[in-house]
Amino acid sequence: MEGRLLNGEGMKTAGSAAPARTRFAPSPTGLLHIGNARTALFNWLWARRTGGRFVLRVEDTDPARSKASFEAGLMEDLRWLGLRWDEGPDIGGGSAPYRQSERTRIYGGYAEWLLRHDDAYLCWCSKERLLELRAAQLKAGAPPRYDGRCAQDNVAGVHGTAPAVRFRVPERKVAFTDAAHGRMSFDTKAFGDFVIMGSDGVASYNFAAVIDDALMDITHVIRGDDHLSNTPRQALLYQALGFGMPVFCHVPLVLGADRQPLSKRLEAVSLRALRADGFLPEAVVNAMSRLGWTPGTEGLLTLDELSGVFDLKGLSKSPSVFDMERLRAYNKAAMSGLDAPSLSRLAGISGVPKEAVEAARRNAGTLNELRTLLEPFAGEPAFTEEATAVMDNPSAKAVIRAAMTEVEAAAAIDGSSCGVIMKKVREATGEKGKGLYLPVRCALTGRTEGIELAEVFVLLGKEKLIERLGRFA
Active-site residue list: 264
Q: Is 348 left (phi over 0), alpha (psi -120 to 50) or beta?
A: left
CB atoms within 10 A of CB 299: 10
Which residue(s) pair with 87 in the sheet? 55
The angle formed by the CA atoms of residues 327, 332 and 337, to the nearest 5 degrees, is: 125
Q: What is the largest CA-CA distance in the chain?
A: 104
Instruction: Provide the H-helix boundaries in 169-317.
Output: 205-215, 231-241, 271-276, 281-289, 303-309
Residue 395 neighbours by CB distance under 10 Å: 14
Give me the DSSP letters along 290-332: TSS---S--S---HHHHHHH--GGG--SS-EE--HHHHHHHHH
CA distance 209 to 103: 11
Cβ 36 vs Cβ 6: under 8 Å: no
C-alpha closest to that of 42 among 180, 233, 229? 180
Round to whole Å and give the CA distance between 271 and 276.
Answer: 8
Would strands 120-123 and 164-167 be described as parallel, antiparallel, or unpaired? antiparallel
CA 55 – CA 25 distance, rounded (Å): 8
